Amino acid sequence: MDFAVLLKAVPDLDTLVYDPRRKAVRREGAELFANPFDQRALRVALDLRRAGERVTVLSMGPEGAAPSLREAIALGADRAFLVSDPALAGSDTWVTAHVLTRACHVARADVVFAGQCSTDAETGQVPAEIAALLGVPIVSGVQAIHRLEDSGFECVRDTDDGWERFRVRAPCVVSVGEKVAKLRHADAAVVDALPVSAIRRFTAADLGMAHAALGEIGSATVVEELVEEAPTRTPLRIDGADIAQAIGRAVARIEELWAGPVSESLPLAPCPQPLDPNAELAVLVTGETGGLDRHGTALVSEIRRGAPRVWPAVLWVGPDPTPPDLQRLACAGARAVRRIPLPTPSSSSEVAHAVSAWLGAHPTVAGVLFAADSFGREVAGQVAARGGWGLTGDAIGLRVAPDGTLRWKKTAFGGHVIAEVRSRVRPSLATMRAGICPELEVPDPVELAPEIWSAPPFRMGPERLESGVRADDHFGDLDQARIIVSVGMGVGGPDGIQRIRPTLEAWSAALAATRRVVDAGWVSRHRQVGLTGRSLAPDLAVLLGTSGKANHLVGWKRARVILAINADPAAPVFGRVDVGLVGRWEDLLPPLTEALIPLADRRWRPPGSPTLSPPR
């Protein structure tokens, strides 16, 4: 069994500068390094390799990617292929997947490993597209993998609620997450000693690909605009030296902001009447178990909120929806249900086959929206590759242009830039982050009657062995809490987190964390917020000991109010929140907890219900 590892060389996001004149990010002179997720994939492949088997590292990019490939060889890879051609500049994931698939064929790999996403694009869709082009199953976001004796693997991946275990046989594609392995670096002297010939170079012509099918010309999606992320909040920084005065000012500011208008509560634009089939935007609302995905209804609501010139239908792939499911979808804003019967549980490949077949029979559909979780990304990537449709990953918003085309908004380059992406082909596909769009109750729900459409039979995918729900860590429900406390490394460690429990209990709040806190093992992975974690929309987010990295704050874009506490008056976080308290969180949090309880009681407590509890 031979392995291929996809490795992307990415820039240091902190060195990139947005050029407003060119409407592009200046990459000139930016040093490239191996994407950390792909580095972990390489280590997995090297650890699984047996005697007589080869590991080939594949990369598409400029000559600046060569040092990363040289290090991969120094770490133990048998071969490194670099596909580099000026015609590839500006390629989207559709073109990238095709190029790397050709390279996989040259490498004659049985198993393709990749990181679950890259730090510069964050789409997570290329591995799924390659799996579809190769015609093999995929398991993504793997956090643990064990090789079996029959050319198979057992894989475990995290979910929002717990974990899942799969068995998959080669040939297959596996993308890995952060916990699967620790990073390993080669000795610089060993890397420098490698000859230039250690890397085999390919052009597009070497792979049999015409220039007209590459780069911006051949891409299914195009970036219409890049806009530097401008501050959306008016920061108020308060010196916490006088604690009582500082807390009083902070609570008064929170009350003022809570009293302001909430865009999500504004009247929704009516759906087009009659329902034009060319304006239908379908949402996959079911997961791999065939039941209603808890994020699906929120995606339906986002269409009613942000795209009044199209109307939402839902794709239900699995057994019959229940009456309560239909009622919930109607209240979220759905106008039609397209049901595709499938046995459950179904693999992402089977669901992608069904959705692709349905789209092939319904060419007027404007687009399809998927949840940006492991399953949704797998399905979306395979659907896009099967049909040659443009796919935008991890969208945070949507608008309909005057010409009727869908424009997806997404963060890029660590959250510093907002890109607006258009698909050149119809339908336009996108995944959207969970938590970006809260579920609404529309004023004009309709009675939904599922329209049944049968997909051709298709069975392929990993075998789902078992799944489990994560043990309750008693840190609250991130999807339900009105207040969320997010901790950074500045809280000091697990002991500091335990000191926050009285505040969580007093506010009925939930705990979130930065990526570094999760990597340190202080809290569970499902509590990570940010670029590679979750996006949340509480009424109040309280950030403790966080520096203010853009890739964390992007997860709080939809929070109503953000308050930060940090002892460093120059911390960048103070420029991107509503209220900043300068001081030790240990000194400021207890009085803030008690002072905020009456305000929270007035805001949320129904008449006759118990008040929030003072901290113990």
Asked whether 243 and 443 are in contact (CB, 8 A), the reply is no
CA gap 143, 579 in Å, rounded = 37
| Residues 382 and 297 placed together within one structural domain of the fold | yes
State pTM to two decimals: 0.84
| Residues 209 and 105 placed together within one structural domain of the fold | yes
Q: Which of 217-226, 260-269, 528-537 has the lowest mean pLDDT?
A: 260-269
| Residues 318 and 403 placed together within one structural domain of the fold | yes
CATH number at residue 516: 3.40.50.1220
Q: Which of 118-122, 213-217, 500-504, 562-566 has the lowest mean pLDDT?
A: 118-122
| Residues 88 and 163 placed together within one structural domain of the fold | yes
Percent above pLDDT 70 for the chain: 89
pLDDT of residue 113: 97
* Assigned domain for 362 exists: yes
Backbone angles phi, psi at 583, to 5 degrees: 160, 180
CA gap 263, 266 in Å, rounded = 5
Residue 18 has pLDDT above 70, yes or no: no
| Residues 237 and 286 placed together within one structural domain of the fold | no
pLDDT of residue 263: 47
Please give the average per-residue pLDDT across 465-489, as a whole number: 85
What residues have CB less than 8 Å from 238, skipping those under 6 apart?
246, 249, 250, 579, 580, 581, 582
pLDDT of residue 472: 62
CA gap 22, 220 in Å, rounded = 22
Residue 295 has pLDDT above 90, yes or no: no
pLDDT of residue 24: 54
Give 13's pLDDT tier (boundaries 50, 70, 90): low
Strands 152-158 and 162-169: antiparallel
* Assigned domain for 613 exists: no
User: Which of 428, 458, 488 delimits the end of a domain?
Assistant: 458
Give 369's pLDDT tier (boundaries 50, 70, 90): very high
Does residue 115 sit in helix, strand or coil? strand
CATH number at residue 177: 3.40.50.620
| Residues 154 and 238 placed together within one structural domain of the fold | no
CA gap 597, 502 in Å, rounded = 12
pLDDT of residue 437: 67
* Assigned domain for 514 exists: yes
Residue 191 has pLDDT above 60, yes or no: yes
pLDDT of residue 600: 84
* Assigned domain for 225 exists: no
162 against 89, higher pLDDT: 89
User: Which of 458, 484, 517 delimits the end of a domain?
Assistant: 458
Residue 376 has pLDDT above 80, yes or no: yes
Please give the average per-residue pLDDT across 19-47, as a whole number: 78
Please give the average per-residue pLDDT across 283-294, as a whole number: 90
| Residues 427 and 574 placed together within one structural domain of the fold | no
| Residues 435 and 371 placed together within one structural domain of the fold | yes
Strands 510-513 and 483-487: parallel
Does residue 310 sit in helix, strand or coil? coil
CA gap 426, 375 in Å, rounded = 23
Residues in the chain: 616
| Residues 208 and 242 placed together within one structural domain of the fold | no
The total number of structural domains that make up the chain: 3
* Assigned domain for 282 exists: yes
CA gap 60, 486 in Å, rounded = 37
Please give the average per-residue pLDDT across 207-220, as a whole number: 92
Give 525's pLDDT tier (boundaries 50, 70, 90): confident
pLDDT of residue 266: 43
Asked whether 115 and 176 are in contact (CB, 8 A), the reply is yes
* Assigned domain for 589 exists: yes
Give 82's pLDDT tier (boundaries 50, 70, 90): very high
pLDDT of residue 22: 53
Backbone angles phi, psi at 309, to 5 degrees: -90, 0
pLDDT of residue 550: 77
Domain containing residue 70 = 3-219
106 against 185, higher pLDDT: 106
Residue 277 has pLDDT above 60, yes or no: yes
Q: Count each helix (H run) and each strand (E run) in the chain, helices first.
A: 15, 30
Q: How many CA atoms lie within 13 A of 514 on its CB side?
A: 22
Residue 125 has pLDDT above 70, yes or no: yes
* Assigned domain for 57 exists: yes
525 against 487, higher pLDDT: 487
| Residues 569 and 479 placed together within one structural domain of the fold | yes
Asked whether 475 and 532 are in contact (CB, 8 A), the reply is no
| Residues 277 and 424 placed together within one structural domain of the fold | yes
Does residue 609 sit in helix, strand or coil? coil
Q: What would the two tokens of residue 39 be?
A: 């580095």
What residues have CB less than 8 Å from 117, skipping those under 6 apart?
37, 123, 124, 532
On average, the pLDDT of the chain sits at 87
pLDDT of residue 348: 92
| Residues 279 and 353 placed together within one structural domain of the fold | yes
Give 68's pLDDT tier (boundaries 50, 70, 90): very high
pLDDT of residue 265: 43
